[in-house]
Each structure stands twice: as C-alpha cells, then as structure tokens.
Structure 1
Amino acid sequence: MTEVTIRAMKAGDWPAVERIYAEGIASGNATFQDKPPSWEEFDGGKIRGLRLVAVDTQDNVVGWAAASSVSSRPVYQGVIEHSIYVSKNARGAGVGHLLLAEFITTSEAAGVWMIQSAVFPENRGSLALHAAHGFREVGIRERIGRMSFGPWAGQWRDNVFLERRSTVTGTN
C-alpha cells in the first residue's frame, strides 16, 4: 500500500465511499443493510464533523469512518455509534488503524466521551482492530437482526457490542 493520509470526507468522495460500503455489504459480515444509502440519507444521518476518509497519494479513497448520534436526548450528548470500512484492496495494510486512530482523536476533540459499535462476531479483523484501539466488549446481542439478502437471507445474526470510553475527558 502506498502512503495513506486521513482527511475530512467531502460530498465528492461519495462514489468511492458508496463503493467501499457496497464491498462491505457483499462480504455479509459488515452490516444488516442490503445496499448503501443514498448520499442524502448518509449526509442526513451522519455527524458532519465526524466523517473521515483515508486516501492514497492519488487522493483515491481507500477507507472511511463516520458516526451518528445514539440519541437526541441531552443525557447522551457525547455518545456516538461509528462505522469504519476499508476497501477490500487495502485491507491488511494498516489503513483501518490509521483511520480509527484519527477518528478517535477527532471525536474526542469534538467532545465525544464514548464511541460504540456493533460488529458481527465473524468479522474478526474488525474486532481485532477495535481491541487494538481500546474498545472493550460489552456483550453479545444474540439474534439481534435477521439478514434480508444474499446467501444469508433469513439468518438471524449476533452482534458483539463494543465501546471505547475517552481517556481524555476523564469519564472512563
């Protein structure tokens, strides 16, 4: 892998972000979604300051991370749920580590004190990545959802529920 940098996601990155999202969906181990959302849905559901992309030296997007609020209630301000996806051609090259490290730094600077995520137990790469960045397993949500597409259609799936509490804000 060539050198990778992390920067804020722009609307013009959407075609590459959507392609990487679709690769994750096709793997069957990234999400319950059966297709990527539209740009308008993505843009409306993700926190603007917490959308990052990893780009190579040609400014090709090779990964992305984004977050949404877990609740609109004030008591949950500073708690987010995030997603991180790496292009299949860039997996295993450290892109996820760079992206997640910068995402954590960016979110903490924005006042986030807890990041949570739900990962399929079969997605060992994602579980290892999160563990390496201080996420802990809170529990298993058994049969939390049923797949609606592909060879997995109709299968109930578990999620490993992960969280990372900020070491910066003193709330851990």
Structure 2
Amino acid sequence: MPAGASSSSALILPLTAEHAAQVLAIYQAGIDEGNATFETTAPSWEAFDAAKLTEHRFAALDQDGAVLGWVAATKVSDRCAYAGVVEHSVYVHPAARGRGIASALLKALINSTEAAGIWTIQSGIFPENTASLAVHKRAGFRVIGTRERIGRHYGTWRDVLLIERRSSRIV
C-alpha cells in the first residue's frame, strides 16, 4: 500500500517525529505484554529515529490523527552483500487490534522495500505471539527456523522463530 493510502480503518503515512510519543507508547504497550520483544523499555525517540530507515517506516492513523500502529525497518548489516535485507518490527495499539492495521502496515512496508530493491524482510517472533505469526503468514512471510533458547527474558530462556518474506519481484 503506498504512503497516503488507507485501509478500511486507517490512513497509512510515513512515520515522522510528529508521531513519536504515540509510537513509543504503542511500543511500550507491546513490551509490557511480554511476548513482543526482548526489550524491557521503549527507546528514546532519538534512538528510535536513528535506528530506523526513514524510507521504510509507516504509521497507521485514525480519522482524528491518532496513531493506531506502526511498522519500521532497520538494516541487518553494512556489508554490501546484505544491502537487500532488512529486519522489521510492527506494533498495533491494543485497542486497534483485529482491524487489519498490521496487515495494512506490512503491505506499505513490502511496497516500499520492493520499490527500493530490497529482496528480503525478516524478523524474529516469540512462538507464543500467535497473532503476529498469523498476520505475517497472510503477508507472505514464512518461518525459516527456530533460534532455541536464544535469550533470557525476565529470567526465562526464550525461543525466537526467524521469519522472512522474499520478494517475488526482485530476483
């Protein structure tokens, strides 16, 4: 979905500093639920902004301009062989889930990355996060492996499923 397009319940636009407070609050809500990330607190806007690729980050807004969710990508490596590979995160406000927001955000990300010649989008998802796994599967992602006991989260070893989407347009 190109920037400026809308899903049935949200307008998808480039994510900017104007959205910072709401984006970080949604990120923290996902962190607090315990199955979204190993992170324990959302970063500052400055750290978030510096880490995310400007051309591959989007916010979903309702008709009043409130942020319903966001998606953003980061480079996986500075090595030229990995120039076409990014890692992404997608988060939706708890009250906005089940409305197709994550799907619309993933579509915007897929369109922007393919337009830029990126051939692989990857991420790691806790196996317990079945809703995220389902929305990613519908968007063309597949599980390519399990990183068993890859990290400790609040004192418990956690597995992470490595997922990826390969572009069929970029070969």
Match of 1:107 in 2: 113
The code of the aligned residue for 2:51 comes to G
The code of the aligned residue for 2:127 comes to P
C-alpha distance in 2 between matches for 1:135 and 1:3: 23
Match of 1:35 in 2: 41
Match of 1:133 in 2: 139
Q: Is residue 64 of structure 2 the alignment partner of residue 58 of structure 1?
A: yes
The code of the aligned residue for 2:37 comes to T
TM-score, L = length of structure 2: 0.94
Structure 1 residue matching 2:96: 3-state secondary structure = coil
Gapped regions of structure 1 (runs ≥ 5): 148-152
TM-score, L = length of structure 1: 0.93
The code of the aligned residue for 2:11 comes to T
C-alpha distance in 1 between matches for 2:82 and 2:108: 22
Q: Identity of paired residues, percent?
A: 48
Q: Kindly indicate whether the alpha-carbon contact (under 8 Å) linking 1:63 and 1:86 is maintained by their aligned counterparts in 2.
A: yes
C-alpha distance in 2 between matches for 1:135 and 1:4: 23
User: Which of the residues 3, 13, 20 maps onto 1:14?
Assistant: 20
Q: CA-to-partner distance for each residue in 1:5-48, whole Å, 9 max, x for gaps?
A: 10001101000000100010011000000000111111111111
1:18-167 equivalent positions in 2, closer than 5 A: 18-147=24-153, 153-167=154-168
Deviation for aligned residue 1:2: 7.2
C-alpha distance in 1 between matches for 2:158 and 2:109: 27
Q: Kindly indicate whether the alpha-carbon contact (under 8 Å) linking 2:124 and 2:161 is maintained by their aligned counterparts in 1.
A: yes
Q: CA-to-partner distance for each residue in 1:125-157, whole Å, 9 max, x for gaps?
A: 00001100111110000011101xxxxx20010
Match of 1:168 in 2: 169
The code of the aligned residue for 1:140 comes to T
Q: How many equivalent pairs are there? A: 165
Q: Kindly indicate whether the alpha-carbon contact (under 8 Å) linking 1:2 and 1:56 is maintained by their aligned counterparts in 2.
A: no
C-alpha distance in 2 between matches for 1:67 and 1:95: 17
Q: Kindly indicate whether the alpha-carbon contact (under 8 Å) linking 2:149 and 2:157 is maintained by their aligned counterparts in 1.
A: yes
Q: Kindly indicate whether the alpha-carbon contact (under 8 Å) linking 2:9 and 2:101 is maintained by their aligned counterparts in 1.
A: no
